[in-house]
Amino acid sequence: MGEEVKLDFSKKIKRDILNILKTKQNANEFVEFIHFLSNETFSTDKFDVFAAVTEKYGDKRPGWFDSLQKNLPKDLDIKYVRECLNGLEMVVDGAEIVKIEMPFVPSNSFINDLYKLLGQSKTGGASKGKFLIDVEVNESLIGGAKIYVGGKYINLTLNQMILSYLETNDAIKRYL
């Protein structure tokens, strides 16, 4: 495999990996997977990523592996695999964490929409495409969410919206 192809693959997958993973939980699973693959590359002269993944996960491969598989060239050498794995781990480790506290466990489509929205937000504080979402379920919240990003705290709960409305419109004083 030529150096140009290796570099193109490396740049492309590094650019896309956080968009593929989206959540801190998926990133943790991914880093665990990288460590598994790194260990596998030291135990053999010929490395088969697909066989190693099948051995570890069977039919229940993580969803992000399919995206990774599409970008993997078929003729990988072990040295290149290690370089890519180390590079991908550094990308994941360097990602900013956007913590979201919400009253329910979000669906994958909700996470996808939220990731897209936070990536487009100019005031959100998250670096576009360089963040992961860390979801914490807080059943005591009544609607909405609390977001912690870039040193900022944004309270978007229903309770906060009502309090803000009452303070802004001085609604209580008008009726007294």
Both tokens of residue 110?
Answer: 């909700």
According to DSSP, the residues that pair with 147 across neighbouring strands are 100, 154
Give the contacts of 134 (CB within 8 A, at least 6 positions apart). Answer: 23, 24, 25, 97, 98, 99, 100
Task: List the chain pLDDT tens, one digit each, 176 residues.
Answer: 455 555 556 667 777 788 888 999 989 988 988 888 777 766 666 667 777 778 888 888 877 777 777 766 666 667 777 777 788 888 888 888 999 999 999 998 999 898 888 887 655 556 666 889 999 999 988 888 898 887 888 888 888 887 777 777 765 656 65
If you ran DSSP here, which 8-state letter would residue 106 be given? P
Domain spans, the chain: 3-93, 96-169
Which H or E run includes 155?
A: strand 152-155
CB 22 within 8 A of CB 112: yes
Amino acid at 61: R
Please give the Cα distance from 65 to 51 (Å, whole number): 13
According to DSSP, the residues that pair with 137 across neighbouring strands are 102
Please give the Cα distance from 134 to 108 (Å, whole number): 13
